[in-house]
Chain A
Amino acid sequence: MSSSSVEEITDQSNDLFTQDGVLLKACSGRPVNELNSIGMLCIVQNSDGTKSIEWRPSDIITVCAVQEQDWALVNAIGRRQRTFSGNLTADYATARARIIRMPLNELKIFRVTNRNQQMSFSNKVGVWQSTFFFQHGNAEVFIAYLKSHVKTAKSSRDRNTYLVVEPTDETRALNRSFTELDIFQENTTDVVWNIVSNLKERPYETTMEAFSKLSSIGLDYNSGSQLLYYGNEASSKRDVSEEVADLLTKSMVAAEEAHSVTKSDEYEVISMKPTLPPRPSIPRSTPLSQEKWEGLQDTLGRVTEMDGVKQLIFRGGVAHSIRKQVWKYLLDYYPWHMTHAELKALQKKRTDEYYCMKLQWRSMTEGQESRFTEYRDRKSLVEKDVNRTDRTHPFFAGDNNPNLETLQDILMTYVMYNFDLGYVQGMSDILAPLLLLMGNEVDTFWCFVGFMERIASNFDMDQAGMKHQLLQLQQLVMFASPELAQHLALKDSGNMYFCFRWLLVWFKREFSLIDIMRLWEVLWTGLPCANFHLLICVAILEAEKEVLISGDYGFTEILKHVNELSMRIEVNKVLSSAEGIYHQIISAPHLTDQIRIILGLTPLGTSAPTEDDDAPEATGTNCKDNDAAANVSTSGTDMEEAVLEYDGIEISIVTQTVWALLA
């Protein structure tokens, strides 16, 4: 591994994978005082498309100027937003010179030692050029990702040593496919995607205490007679650091047991593994009844308490008798504030529009069609799918069922409404429950438009929307269920593609038609946070965690198991645990901005950095992070705010009306 000059590194490079908390243990040609500093080990894609392994000291990441006192700077980690956008000071430049990088095409061999906590790399067999220690004990994940970029073979002599072999055509194809669809590679600059950054705000300080203690411990080095010191004055001998690493390993392993104090003669380690607070079990409520719904409308038919209605629907769904009506609002076909008269006019207008678009394709002659390939393609896709959508349900069963024709008509009219998107497999699944409920073609169409508005990106040509969500899901799982995330990563399933079907059609294939109605209406409320559907995924997976991990399920078994959950998931249970997980996440002391952003909360790092300023107040929704929670509930200024408490976790309810209705 070569030390790189400042010019070599351009900020054009793109992090494909990053792992925090990695200690530089040894590197040939590096000054001693650079050893044992903490940093981030990354797989990066350079601007020319090649890839490298790169280790960056934390001070460059935090743009922290401290260089001399290796341990002092550590405290800055975790609190600061890591960004390259800081001023490029002279110190920064010096720090950058400490970046270690190895082009992947030069990597010949690597090995894992110390219970998977230490990795060494080299571009030639026979000497290890650099060695890193993984503080979080999760080198496996790094290896799993590394192996998705290089083809490896295990050494015949040593199980822990991997030889990098020439990529075969197959892996190249695979890599290409990953490039096209995968979340590990380019096109993710918008999310500087940082797989372990969820874990980044682990309490380094406590771990660091261990290091600082170690740095002053004299090691009785058995084979040699001298007393060596670990720290800035230490000898550059690599085996010494390995010795220390062994010691550390012991302490880390002990620290794995959540929160532990390890004592031995020479040292004491206090370590804490961040865990989520206990999950509150939040009961589901009864569905919004006709009576309540009518009570929420004024004499002219306007729904004034939109937030309150959404709260109620979030808590309990909608009674089937009024679904048909309420869904039109939830799906943005009917504006909440419109009177009956205005709605009537709107409906008339939309009906005309619909039939106008329908006529556009209905009036197409055979000759026209024969010269319109793109139209023909879409039409044939629609026909294929309409024919096999929910045919077991009585509403769609049997030959020449008129409801199939309605499905076909709506989908074809949608093709005209949004020709660019056209028809993509999965849309018929989205439409079927809407038609089943609404019955009326025009209403169904406009509700479908509203639903598609929310999920159109699922059907992107380049799958960008799906990739993005799978990535966010992966980040949420990492945060909420790290053991599961680790298992998935090890089993080649870290990209979460086994959840593809769930996300593409919003769980339509996983529930009966009646259950999917309940799930969808709850999700449409947008409560309690953005991307709650991803937390539904987390909840389902969390419930299967034991099976997946203890059964040591691999790539195939994971997909099979997940597919087979279909029709076996209880909708109310999963809603309740997803909500519980939401409260666990937002009350976690180590909540990261990355997760905040996914859930639509204001990130702390990008707002005013001063914490004592006004707490990030929840805007519009009742979402708020933990810090703010105390303030709000004690302020008592907002008479409309009601706070429920379950298992010590406070859940705010927006309005008195809702509070009254809930009671």
Chain B
Amino acid sequence: MATNRSGAAQRPNGAPQTKVCQFKLVLLGESAVGKSSLVLRFVKGQFHEYQESTIGAAFLTQTVCLDDITVKFEIWDTAGQERYHSLAPMYYRGAQAAIVVYDITNQDTFGRAKNWVKELQRQASPSIVIALAGNKSDLAAKRMVEFEEAQAYADENGLLFMETSAKTAMNVNDIFLAIANKLPKSESGGGGGGGGAGAGARRLNDGDAPRASSCCK
């Protein structure tokens, strides 16, 4: 992919008048898996080793360009600790996309991610696009969750899946772009043939692979 990996995501500088779509995206996952770090990397191109824990929720926006369309993400970053679980529905309500994050060095966080996926499939909007992010891929030496295991789970559940690193920026822009590509833009009528399918029926084909934008650079 030709995206700039270390910098911020593409901005629509100089882009011609394109259609703008706005999507609400929520990040869920156990505490300290790197939700806030992923958002910070995507929105500001930064990484803080000592990113403070999230209390309540945070809200940020970022705009990315696809070939013919500008996508504005409204991003809700939630607090991960189980104690604050009951706040989450307030934030995933009406979300068109979710990134469920786990930490590849911690098996428990993967279990927790699966629970979030289940909850979203049950309770969020049926057309929600869910991506699974195995974060901290830079810590491969301490890996506890195998890539294949997570990929298989994602395939079964029709989730986008990538291993990411907020620290090195690997796959961070890419996962957001992949989501942007998969989201139904209103003119295409809710994603063509997949429009009526429930979340469980979603599959990521090769044809859906994220395309880097050419309108920004």
Contact = CB atoms under 8 A, between A and B. Distances in A.
A384 interface: yes
B1 interface: no
Interface in B110-130: 122-126
Interface stretch (B55-63, B156-164, B183-191): B55-63
Interface in A452-500: 459, 461, 463, 497-498, 500
B13 interface: no
A391 interface: yes
Contacts of B87: 177, 181, 497, 500
Interface string B83-96: 11011111001100
B51 interface: yes
Interface residues of A, number: 37
Interface string A361-396: 000000000000000000001001101111110000
Interface centre among A169, A172, A425, A560 (most CB of B within 10 A): A425
Nearest to B33: A384
Interface in B60-105: 60, 74, 79, 81, 83-84, 86-90, 93-94
Measured as residues with beta carbon below 8 angstroms from the partner, the interface class of chain B is 20 to 34
Contacts, number: 92
Contacts of A181: 86-87, 90
B124 A173 contact: yes
B53 interface: yes
A253 B33 CA distance: 54
Nearest to A176: B89
A381 B31 contact: yes
A463 B86 contact: yes
A487 B94 CA distance: 21
B52 interface: yes
Rank and list the top 10 A-B pairs by shortest CB-CB distance, nearest first.
A173-B123, A391-B50, A177-B89, A500-B56, A384-B32, A501-B55, A181-B86, A501-B56, A180-B86, A425-B81
Given A388-B50, A425-B84, A559-B57, 20 more contacts: A170-B126, A173-B93, A384-B31, A384-B32, A385-B32, A389-B52, A389-B53, A391-B50, A424-B83, A425-B31, A425-B79, A428-B53, A498-B56, A500-B55, A501-B56, A504-B55, A509-B52, A556-B59, A560-B59, A563-B59
25 contacts: A170-B94, A170-B123, A173-B124, A174-B90, A174-B93, A176-B123, A180-B86, A181-B87, A181-B90, A388-B32, A388-B53, A391-B52, A425-B55, A425-B79, A428-B53, A497-B56, A497-B90, A498-B56, A500-B87, A509-B55, A556-B59, A556-B74, A559-B56, A559-B58, A563-B56
Interface of A: 169-170, 172-174, 176-177, 180-181, 381, 384-385, 387-392, 424-426, 428-429, 459, 461, 463, 497-498, 500-501, 504-505, 509, 556, 559-560, 563
